[in-house]
Amino acid sequence: MYYFIMNPTASSGVGRKVWKQLKPILKTRGVKYKLIAQTDKEELIAIVKKLTGRNKKLSFGGTIEVVDAASEEEIKDKDVHLVVLGGDGTLNLVFNSIVDLEHTKLSCIRIGSGNDFARNVGIEKDPEKALIKLLDNPEEIVLDYGEADYVMVDGMRKSRKYVISSGIGYDADICQEASHSKIKKVLNVFHLGKLVYVTIGIKQIFSRSNTRAKIYLDGKGPLCVRNLFFAVGMVHEMEGGGVPFCPDADPEDGKLDVCLAKGAPIPKLLTEVAMVYCRKHLLFSNVSMYRCRSIRIVVDNPQWIHTDGETPCKVRQVIMSCRQGLRLVK
């Protein structure tokens, strides 16, 4: 049984169009599946929790297709296979809603403007080819994932998992501004959504303020940074629409690769941003790379944090740590 989770509004409505392409393939092959098409985040979270909790009957309110509720017998002592049709944001939401990782398989079909996770793990760009590969020649691997435990400005502590990266500073500022960009929605129609990240990235170099920070790697330190530009803990090589901040990241080694950049003159920062696409940013003295199981960052001035591009709030400190057990089928 495949549970397809589709965001109808992903990438300005591409989700619906892709599903219309995939549905005939499933019908022709007689594949047993259920479709969960949901735009309400809270409803989707509840559905995934019930589905992966393995001990509750399900309600699929708000779906495009009428489907039967799964019985306890369908999911008891069996793996639940979720196939996400959406971008990195939908994938992150679904992953954070999974109750039992050990008995949950996760797959994804590329829809969205970023698709960094799919790009990092080598999933076919064409949705139909990706589905056929999943049905005919599936490959299961167990990947690392990250967890960010952070302290908000009001002192409250929260935690969120991520499948690609989590960062504070420059890259989080870009994500925050992009999430409210009207231009992004227009460019998504023409599959040019990642151009927004480039434009905002250049703008942020001129406008953002750096902060003092103390950094602890695997509990050791502190490493004192007078002007933190950004720090990102990555499971995979690329984030932000294909930006390879951590070219040597291995999603199966049980460690995070950390890219840390200190402030520098604007011309130098502009050069570094351009060079990162060529994987040459580490040649600059203000850019450092670390590998660790966890990193704790404490900042003087609250900074935006992102997990897989989602920006919940500004934080005073964060602990990013590596976990294992994401069962990916591609």
* Cβ-based neighbour number of residue 27 at 10 Å: 10
Residue 156 in this model has a pLDDT that exceeds 50:
yes
Dihedrals phi, psi of 22, to nearest 5 degrees: -85, -30
Tokens of 206: 């001129």
The pTM (predicted TM-score) of the whole model is 0.88
Q: Are residues 155 and 128 part of one domain?
A: no
Residue 68 DSSP label: P
Residue 298 in this model has a pLDDT that exceeds 60:
yes
* Cβ-based neighbour number of residue 181 at 10 Å: 15
Residue 329 belongs to some domain of the structure: no
The pLDDT assigned to 63 comes to: 43
Q: Are residues 149 and 134 part of one domain?
A: no
- 3-state secondary structure (DSSP) of residue 249: coil
Residue 113 belongs to some domain of the structure: yes
- 3-state secondary structure (DSSP) of residue 43: helix
The pLDDT assigned to 24 comes to: 96
Q: Are residues 204 and 127 part of one domain?
A: no
> How many Cα atoms sit within 13 Å of 265 on the Cβ side?
2
What is the total count of domains within the chain? 2
Final residue of a structural domain among 77, 105, 138: 138
The pLDDT assigned to 152 comes to: 95
CATH number, domain of 184, equals 2.60.200.40
The domain of 19 spans: 2-138
> How many Cα atoms sit within 13 Å of 188 on the Cβ side?
22
Residue 278 in this model has a pLDDT that exceeds 60:
yes
Residue 302 belongs to some domain of the structure: yes
Q: Identify the bridge partners of residue 32 per DSSP, sorted by sequence position.
A: none
Question: By C-alpha distance, which of 62, 55, 56, 68 is closest to 3?
Answer: 68
* Cβ-based neighbour number of residue 150 at 10 Å: 23
Dihedrals phi, psi of 252, to nearest 5 degrees: -130, 10
Reported as a single tens digit per residue, the pLDDT across 112-135 is 667 899 999 999 999 999 999 999
* Mean pLDDT for the stretch of residues 238-267: 95
